[in-house]
Amino acid sequence: MPTTGEILLRIDGVLKENRRIENVYIIFTIALFVCGIACIVMALVTEKFAWSAPSVVTTTLLYKPLQEIKELRRKNIALATAPILITLLPRQKAAEEIQKLLQALYGDVQ
């Protein structure tokens, strides 16, 4: 069975990886937003309003990255509480709570 230190190191690693992924999603979301704004500006400047159509597409594409960022942050909060559960609760109770946490985060994974 892994030690508490190993578990904490693994949780820290997962949190760092989640932070990296979150930053990538944020950068792509900003890029989509800028592309949409650029299309709207281009439509206004050239008075060819067909240029505004891509901004509708980019705005629609913003939904998925924003949902992923929200989900990553939810998981990060849950993972950040795990070390407290491990250190403060008795072994058996901590194991039960960690199992509940993992089930809440990832569903029924066999």
| 26 vs 48: CA distance, rounded Å | 30
pLDDT at 59: 78
Mean pLDDT of the chain: 81
Average pLDDT over residues 40-66: 83
In sequence order, the 6+-apart residues with CB closer than 8 A to the CB of 102 are: 109
Residue 9, pLDDT > 90, answer no
Q: What ranges do the domains of the chain cover? A: 4-106
pLDDT tens, 13-37? 888 888 898 899 889 889 988 888 8
In contact, 65 and 25? CB cutoff 8 Å:
yes
Amino acid at site 24: V
Q: Residue 100 CB: number of other CB atoms within 10 A?
A: 11
